[in-house]
Amino acid sequence: MRILELPFRDAILLDVACALAVHAFYRKYEPDASAFFAQFILLVAVPSIPAVSLRHFQDSVGLGILAAYIIFYFSLITSIILYRLSPWHPLAKYPGPVLAKISKLWITYRQARGKLHLDLKELHDKYGLYVRIAPNEISIIDASVVSSCLTNGMPKGPIWTARVPPSSSPSLIAIRSTHEHNRRRKRWNRGFNSAALKGYEPTVQRRALQFIGELEKRSVKNGIASVNLAEWISFFATDFMGDMAFGGGFELMRDGGDKDGVWTLIESGLRSSAIYQHLPWITPLLFRLPFAKQNLLRFRQFGVQRASERKAKGSVTKDLFYHLIDEDNIDKDPPTDAEIVADGILVILAGSDTTSTTLSGLFYYLLSNRLDYRRLQKEIDTAFPPGEGDPFDTLKLSELPFLNAVINETMRLQPPLPAYLQRSPEAGTGGKMIGDKFISEGTAVVVPPYTLFRHPAYFSPATETFWPDRWLPNGIPKRNPYSSSSVKEDILDSKYDGEIVTNQAAFIPFSYGPANCAGRALALTEMRIIVALTMQRFEIQFAPGFDPKEWEEHLKDFFVMSNGPLPVTLTPRR
């Protein structure tokens, strides 16, 4: 064969040419990492061609072949790096860290630390509204184009490919096809229409009263010095979403802890998924490794069991599962068992962690701002006088201005999904215009709520301060007798004549567009009832010895915000 007789220089050039050809192939076709035959051809068979020739230029055949592979991989990696840093890359005009432009490992490392929300804010503070955060990914906090990023033919991005186990049906949140998403969303919309929400109210009320009963057992009256309020809120949210997803079976409040390991499964699943979502190519490989597969499938197997039990016993009430399983037989195309399991699991994951973290954050902010606490308590007592019934009138709750302002301000400072609303042009479209910028197919766009909500151009003054008044519908008073912060005193002083900016277009705690949070109305109802009932029944204070600074330190971004303990003392009011 002529290849065996190539001069040394030509053999080296052939090795480099093979590497460049493989890079070009990957850029165009991006074969899945689980396609082992394709990977073998590209990364093993192709470099073996120049290796046949180079082996003759070493004393050892093995060293010659090793040299050929080293040259091939060095050339391939160098080619990738140079292209990603070159002015010919589609995202070359966007600023960002050099390491982020080179590899997704940069953002994967920061996600693993749990502080990605802070990292992205720091990047935007440094580089501006548009930042390149990965080789083919940009982060955008330009409020004028946020709606276009989340609509306009921009379905879910590639991170969702990594969050779906191979050969499994994706849940609603992970569907990347607009057509398929619209088909599946119809059942969710029926499950969250006004009639369905009204039917869920008795379940919310029952679980809320159970929550209060458990807190009363752990109050100062019973000699309990402190209770981890965040933990009990998590128990409540998980029990309630278990009712919605599978008709019950979750009893964390009754058991006083995670007896069946449900919460542990949720937390471990969220953390691991948050890390490997940045490396979509690795998921198929993980599911070929027995030890990794077992961990990743534990919660899915739990969901399969719960869904099977719920289907077998049928409906007692029209819970959300009733609509997701289409027990009304409305759909011409009924859901498959795989879709039912995937969506049932989503109900628990999306509804429990996000709501509990927001509620815990809300009480943290109120306890850190005692006059705001008193102000909200007074509003609730006026609307629902103690001793005259529980605050379960959802219409009246929805009309309490300060309660809703406190909820909004909590979600502004501590959004449940802090950093990664990701979208990408739909496959086959070639790309989409976002404002005056063209986003080519294969490029991901991220809108980071934590950074967006803390930008002074959209929320000012006191952008970093808990200040519910910015949300009041009747405007901001020049003086506020309830203000407890020196910063607020400066803002609300009669001498302050600056503009109050509260940009509603930049406030998207439940995402935006056709792929927004289907359960928004239920989540708000749930939060209003828990806040009103808890504040009506208890006087709450931070537990002695607790440093409020610990709360911010313990906040972690694992796709959804995760919080640490919130130790408080509870004193019954009546």
Q: pLDDT class for 443, splitting at 50, 70, 90? A: very high
Q: Which residues contact 251 (CB under 8 A, 6 or more apart)?
A: 239, 259
What percent of the chain is predicted at pLDDT more than 70? 90
Q: Please report which confidence band the pLDDT of residue 407 belongs to, taking 50, 70 and 90 as the band edges.
A: very high
167: its two tokens: 């050969």
Residue 552's pLDDT is what? 92
Q: Identify the pLDDT of residue 397.
A: 97
Q: What is the mean pLDDT of residues 378-385?
A: 96
**CA pair distance 163, 185, nearest whole angstrom:** 19
Does residue 538 have a pLDDT over 90? yes
Q: Which residue has the higher pLDDT, 267 or 526?
A: 526
Rounded average pLDDT over 99-125: 95
Residue with tokens 């991989």: 73
pLDDT confidence band for 483 (50 / 70 / 90): very low
- Length of the chain, in residues: 574
DSSP-based three-state secondary structure for 313: helix
Whole-number pLDDT of residue 297? 67
Q: Which domains does the chain have, with CATH numbers?
A: 2-85 (no CATH), 172-416+509-572 (1.10.630.10), 464-502 (no CATH)
Q: Which two tokens stand for residue 99?
A: 């390491």
Per-residue pLDDT band for 488 (boundaries 50, 70, 90) equals low
Does the pLDDT of residue 379 top 90, yes or no?
yes
User: Which pLDDT score is estimated for 423?
Assistant: 94
Torsion angle, alpha carbons of 525, 527, 529, 530, to 10: 160
pTM: 0.90
pLDDT tier at 54, thresholds 50, 70, 90 = low
Average pLDDT, the chain: 86
Structure token pair of residue 235: 């128990």
**Range from 68-82, 203-217, 477-491 that averages highest in pLDDT:** 203-217
Which pLDDT band holds residue 242 (cuts at 50, 70, 90)? confident
Q: 126-135, 275-284, 514-523 — which is least confidently predicted? A: 275-284
The Cα–Cα gap between 512 and 510 comes to 7
Going by C-alpha positions, the residue among 244, 382, 260, 381 that lies closest to residue 315 is 244
Question: Which CA distances in Å does 317 have to 195, 200, 215, 343?
Answer: 13, 9, 27, 18
**391-403 mean pLDDT:** 96
Taking residues 523-546, report their average pLDDT: 96
Asked if pLDDT for residue 480 goes beyond 70, the answer is no
Dig out the tokens for 112 from the structure.
């693993």
What band does 48 get if pLDDT is binned at 50, 70 and 90? confident
The conformation of residue 545, written as its DSSP 8-state character, comes to: T
What is residue 173's DSSP assignment? G
**Residue 15 · residue 68 · CB < 8 Å:** yes
CB 413 within 8 A of CB 449: no
pLDDT confidence bin for 268, thresholds 50/70/90: confident
Note whether 411 and 468 are within 8 A (CB): no
Per the annotation, where are the binding residues?
Answer: 517
Q: Which SS3 state, helix, strand or coil, does residue 567 take?
A: strand
Q: What is the mean pLDDT of residues 124-143?
A: 96
HSE-CB at 493 with a 13 A cutoff on CA atoms is 8
More confident residue, 119 or 183: 119
- Cβ atoms of 342 and 171 within 8 Å: the answer is yes
- Per-residue confidence (pLDDT) for residue 485, from 0 to 100: 46
CB 325 within 8 A of CB 335: yes
Kindly list the distances between the CA atom of residue 362 and the CA atoms of 117, 366, 408, in Å, as whole numbers in the listed order. Answer: 19, 6, 9
- The answer to whether 383 and 436 have CB atoms below 8 angstroms apart is no
Contact 237, 274 (CB under 8 A): no
Bind-site residues for heme: 517
Q: Is the pLDDT of residue 366 over 60?
A: yes
Choose between 332 and 295: higher pLDDT. 332
Q: In this structure, are residues 281 and 26 in contact, taking their beta carbons and an 8 Å threshold?
A: no
> Residue 344's closest CA among 312, 300, 314?
300
